Amino acid sequence: MKPARLLLLLSGCALLLAPAVRGCGPGRVVGSRRRPPRKLIPLAYKQFSPNVPEKTLGASGRYEGKIARNSERFKELTPNYNPDIIFKDEENTGADRLMTQRCKDRLNSLAISVMNQWPGVKLRVTEGWDEDGHHSEESLHYEGRAVDITTSDRDRNKYGMLARLAVEAGFDWVYYESKAHIHCSVKSEHSAAAKTGGCFPGRALATLEDGARTPLWALRPGQRVLAMDGAGRPTYSDFLAFLDKEPRALTSFHVIETREPPRRLALTPTHLLFVAENASAPAARFRPTFASRVRPGHFVLVAAGGGGLQPAEVVGVRNRRDVGAYAPLTRHGTLVVDGMVASCFALVQEQHLAQLAFWPLRLYHSLVGWPGAQGDGVHWYSGLLYRLGRLLLPPDSFHPLGVPRAES
């Protein structure tokens, strides 16, 4: 095993077993001392958080194109009339009030934090959606995903803390860009960049051990679902947890269709499917392949009558939007969804490496049993592994959506 991959695996073990990480969930760890409230540290001038380029998967994601008033995507923007926020609106068009729902939610949350931090002071927005081309090429202002902010009193001594409050409010990228303002941006509502990896629609179906089919959103830890083992044989595998769970996210999916037998699977572009060039390849030789690279004429594995797996030719690939995005993890690292065999993993096109990296999490569940109800969002372990992978693996190990792009 290459040293970087071994280090990734060992780091995952250390992260799982470290007491500080075990306490990441809601509530405090049994037997631990109650910690004092965390002190907020202002951002320094020119500092950004997280410490990655804005238009990368670990921050706000790719630029997806300018939104104009007469474009189909204009309906993605919603006005913000929060009386606790002052909008500069120097154009007198109301453009600064228009933004995506994700941006609006974070901004409203930040407005409350500002009033709590400095009584009598409000949040002020100097730039929101830009329809006039005043920003640099591929600026997220053109999509309503970015805002420039100050405090209402324009006290520049407050701006470092204002940036920190924006991070705490949930903005996906915050930059102390100028002495005159803080720049904040969010992930797209519907792109794969809004996820840290790959997902399926919540209404997609898994097959339980008793033959019943259940939507992914209803899966519970400990249930056994149809999957594929390392030798390419069907098996029933324990469902452990969701690596990502976004019940209300509007997400863009690739839809892979086969005809003989007919199957249709929706999944995000970075997710892995098992693919071969011809039908004669044994199941164990089907290669993990990003969904975005699957084409008509390829063969995928599908569940057949009698409980077996068989190849089926892909006859169509299209895009579709759906609400809800779920990424289930099973003990075998695979899952049959809507009758098609898929990996539980995404972003890195190496099934074996991903399965090894999640070994500590599987061990943890074996030792301590099943956790309680899982909250929404990215599982802390998968988020940490992604950050470790970015440090330890070469950029070409990742799907292009996960590779930093040069900023404009």
Q: What is the pLDDT of residue 311?
A: 96
Answer whether 287's CB lies under 8 Å from 274's CB. yes
How far apart, in whole angstroms, are the C-alpha atoms of residue 300 and residue 313?
6
Give me the pLDDT at residue 198, please: 67
Cis peptide before 50 (omega within 30 of 0): yes
- H/E stretch holding 383: helix 380-392
Strand partners, 398: 348
Q: In what order do the strands lie in the sheet with 181-185?
A: 48-49, 173-178, 181-185, 146-151, 123-127, 85-87
Q: Which of 264, 289, 256, 273 is nearest to 343 (CA)?
A: 273
Residues of the chain with pLDDT under 70: 1-38, 189-198, 370-372, 400-408
Residues 6+ apart with CB under 8 A from 396: none
Q: How far is CA 296 from the centre of its chain?
A: 27
Q: Which two tokens stand for residue 403?
A: 């590779």
- The pLDDT assigned to 322 comes to 80
Q: Measure the CA–CA gap between 80 and 162, rounded to whole angstroms.
A: 20
pTM of the model: 0.59
Identity of residue 274: F
Alpha-carbon gap, residue 405 to 53, rounded angstroms: 7
Distance CA 341, CA 337 (A): 6
